[in-house]
Structure 1
Amino acid sequence: MKRMMMIAGAMMLATSGMTVAQTMSPTDVGVQLMTGTSATDYVKLAADGDMYEIASSKLAMSKAQRPDVKAFAREMVADHTATTKTLMAALKNPDRTIAKPGTRMSTGNEAKIALLKKAPKASFDDLYLQQQMQAHQTAWALHGGYATDGTDPALKQVASTAVPVIERHLMHVKQMTTTAMSGM
């Protein structure tokens, strides 16, 4: 109950534009924070993650069988579109020398999209949720790490704001995976 109250408070602060600390630990998420990431690499990896989330979730909006998975996919498109806009806004600074990220996904994320496209309807939801868990673990490690030791203040703020959103997504994926295992 205390954890849920902390998460709810973190989400309220995130939507008010204030910086919040992460509420999940590496043990909760299953990965360690990715520290020591350069600002350039942070931008590239964050943008790639958002592109994957948006593309995979648009696919899930049409291919998913479960209504909760479709609703989650809509949430992913909205939230990751917003985090992309926040990232791009942070890059609009004439003093910053960080290039805007490319518009093409990494080879690894393209491969995940290809698997989703080929997945039979009966197994699509499970594959999508499995990929979402992995993608959000990676995103949490990246954003949480940069929020902890990033060198660019504007990007550090972007990372700090993204962490509670990612944690909310992780909780949703865990709940949907548990629901599927229990037979709904």
Structure 2
Amino acid sequence: MSDRMIKKVWNDSLDDEEGSSGAVVSTFQHVHTERLFLRKPENQDVTDILRIHGNPATNRYNPHGPMTNNDEAAERLNDWQKSWANDGFGYWSIFAAEGSEIIGFGGISRIFWVGREALNLYYRFDNGSWGRGYATEIARTAVQLAAEHLPDLPVIARINPANSPSIKVAAKVGLRLNPMASNNDYAVYTIRW
């Protein structure tokens, strides 16, 4: 992993004696990239989940549309926290390194897609943070960590075919269109499939 991409990975919760799953948990919990701080979602993030996922601009290509209420945001947070509890990794809450407000959510989470276990690459940012390369930075970090710590699982990005900005991000971090994994709703980009 490039020192430039990931400045510091905090191994603050588990020591080496806890085995490889402990190493994955501690590696993924708190990550600093060149310009971002990524951490495991916390209960107080529910307001930001609704703010970002409820914004019509950030859901332009989402086939399900924006979130509409706190209950949906709480359910999403609960799902993300279950991923962390079960797998030791999942989607992060994302902060600009110099800021204290969440600007997005993203990372990788274990899913089953077309009968196969995979890591879903996901990123969604507040539209005030668009155009700064943050999606590429988070995606590159997630793909690099997956390659290092979860090399047996392919990484996939399920993208609305009209969402050219997300397609460009996936391509920049090495994912390629996989027609065999795609369907009517999503063009699926993969690596290690």
The TM-score, its normalising length taken from structure 1, stands at 0.35
Q: Which one scores higher on RCO, CA 8 angstroms, separation ≥ 6?
A: 1
Name whichever structure is richer in strand by fraction: 2
Name whichever structure is richer in helix by fraction: 1
